[in-house]
Amino acid sequence: MAGHNFEVTQHAETRNPPASCNDWLAIDFARPQSFLLRTEWDLIEGARKGLFGQLITIPLFTDHKILSQVAGPNSRAVKLLPPLIISDSDMEWIVKSIEAVIAASHHVSGTAWSLGKTLVSNFVRLCRAAQQSESDRRAKGPKLPP
């Protein structure tokens, strides 16, 4: 598999891009330098640190059937979970799939962005519902025994 070179920095700004597919275990994403990408990044990461990794792993699985996971809580690293035996054509498919997901994350209309907006809006809705429930509870006052 030595002939498979993949530079993540072509599509995403990372701290430690893999030199080749043989070096893959994780892709560690960093805050982008370009203004537009940085603004979107700040919105996503502002909702919850490490959320960007989910915007990569979910489309990798749902659209390309590639298993991956975020490396841990509040982590921006995405771990790849390939099978123990993998062919060269499988590696090419994985590379193309990752490139497609990362490229989609750069476009507001992309799958990853849509997913991010959905996750953030659901989170905001749940927070508002919890606040309303707490307000209603306080308005009723303490429960007194009959």
Is residue 27 included in any domain, yes or no? yes
Domain count, the chain: 1
The per-residue pLDDT string of the chain (146 residues; one tens digit each, 9 = 90 and over) reads 333 333 343 334 444 444 445 555 788 888 888 888 888 888 778 877 888 888 888 889 989 999 999 988 888 889 988 877 888 898 889 889 998 988 887 765 555 566 667 777 778 888 888 888 888 877 776 666 66
Q: Is residue 54 in some structural domain?
A: yes
Is this structure's pTM higher than 0.95?
no
DSSP string spanning the chain? Answer: -TT----GGGTS-BSS--SSGGG-SEEEB---SSHHHHHHHHHHHHHSTTHHHHHHHHHHHHHH---EEESSTT--EEEE---SS--HHHHHHHHHHHHHHHHHHTSTTSHHHHHHHHHHHHHHHHHHHHHHHHHHHHHH------
Distance CA 97, CA 59 (A): 9
Q: Is residue 1 included in any domain, yes or no? A: no
Instruction: Note whether residue 102 is domain-resident.
Output: yes
Give the domain extent around 75: 8-140
Q: What is the pLDDT of residue 112?
A: 54
Q: Is 105 contained in some domain?
A: yes
Q: Is residue 3 assigned to a domain?
A: no
Q: Residue 146 domain-assigned?
A: no
Q: Considering the domain boundaries, does residue 68 fall inside one?
A: yes
